Amino acid sequence: MKIGITYDLKSDYLKEGFTEEEAAEFDREDTIDAIDNALIELGFQTDRIGHIRNLIDRLSKGHRWDLVFNICEGMYGLGREAQVPSVLDVYRIPYVFSDSVVLGFALHKAFTKRIVRDAGIATPDFCMINNSNDVAKVDIPFPLFLKPLAEGTSKGVASDSVVNNKDELKKTADKLLLKFNQPVLVERYMPGREFTVALIGTGKKATALGVMEVILSHEAEQGVYSYYNKENYKKVVKYSLVEDEIGQSCKQLALKVWTLLECRDAGRLDIRLDLDGTPNFIEINPLAGLHPEHSDLPIMARLQGISFVEIIKMIMDSATERIKNI
């Protein structure tokens, strides 16, 4: 089975003049090496394609694959993660992970929260700030939590993301609007413990691989799983598997959201507890990072004794079973 691999390489964008933070979601060479080597070890023939421009060029020359292992994040637009799947849909080439519809709305955190809220699943009260004038319209009780509407890897999340009054709200909102040139999501701040849940599989066969608590040290930026904390996780973050009653509640919530949104193959979902200790949906990542050492999903698997090759096998088993029915 011939597997194409599509990805955005961080070094390519750094060479073009993008900053480390702008390229934060893109993959390092060792991530692509690890995925490629794992697929080969599992018996697949691989072909590294690269970013969407390479994909379009290759397709125009007649190149085809049985399945594409797609981890492209894209650079521009709120639908950037959906661009490669949309192109592959045109050519009727199946791919790993969620389809273009899911990747399109999942990156838009407010759209996703509306769907989740309408299904009766707990999520913090929220609104959007589209411009500086919208700040005055925010009527959610403080403290609040602010982040860019459509970013990942905690881009734009820092200690000043938690705001306690209108002055702080305006200062942080204006900063994020200017820096990221997109709306800002405003949520009621959840002060409780923070968890991330790994999901494997599709539909009724989906399972929660595990629940991992994110515990910040005294040296970390407090109260938020920030960009700084993620980049320096070895020094300031401790990860711990959670298998008690709270862990089971998080698994149930995560699976409910995963199947509701019709996500596929693998991904992650973030949860925080409110003042009453109730798990609340924060956001979903149906295109989770796969660096074998630094990404949350492989870290969670490693804590359970699951190798990187085994993770890739689980993902491929889900994807290949799906495409049998296409």
Digit-coded pLDDT (tens) for 79-115: 999 999 999 999 999 999 999 999 999 999 999 999 9
| Beta-carbon contacts of residue 312 (< 8 Å; ≥ 6 apart) | 35, 38, 39, 42
Q: Per-residue pLDDT for 178 more than 90?
A: yes
Digit-coded pLDDT (tens) for 22-56: 888 899 999 999 999 999 999 999 999 999 999 99
**pLDDT for res 166:** 96
Residue type present at position 303 = L
What integer is the mean pLDDT of 291-317?
Answer: 95
189 band by pLDDT with thresholds 50, 70 and 90: very high
State pTM to two decimals: 0.93
Tokens at residue 141, please? Answer: 């009780």
Most distant CA pair in the chain, distance: 58
Beta strands in 7-101 (DSSP E): 45-50, 67-70
Cα 129 from Cα 24, distance rounded (Å): 24
**pLDDT for res 326:** 57
Q: Per-residue pLDDT for 21 more than 90?
A: no
- Strands of the 162-163 sheet, one edge to the other: 126-129, 184-188, 144-148, 162-163
**pLDDT for res 23:** 86
Tokens at residue 214, please? Answer: 């994110």
Residue 94: which of 231, 265, 260 has the closest Cα? 265
- Domains of the chain are 2-95 (3.40.50), 125-188 (3.30.1490.20), 191-323 (3.30.470.20)
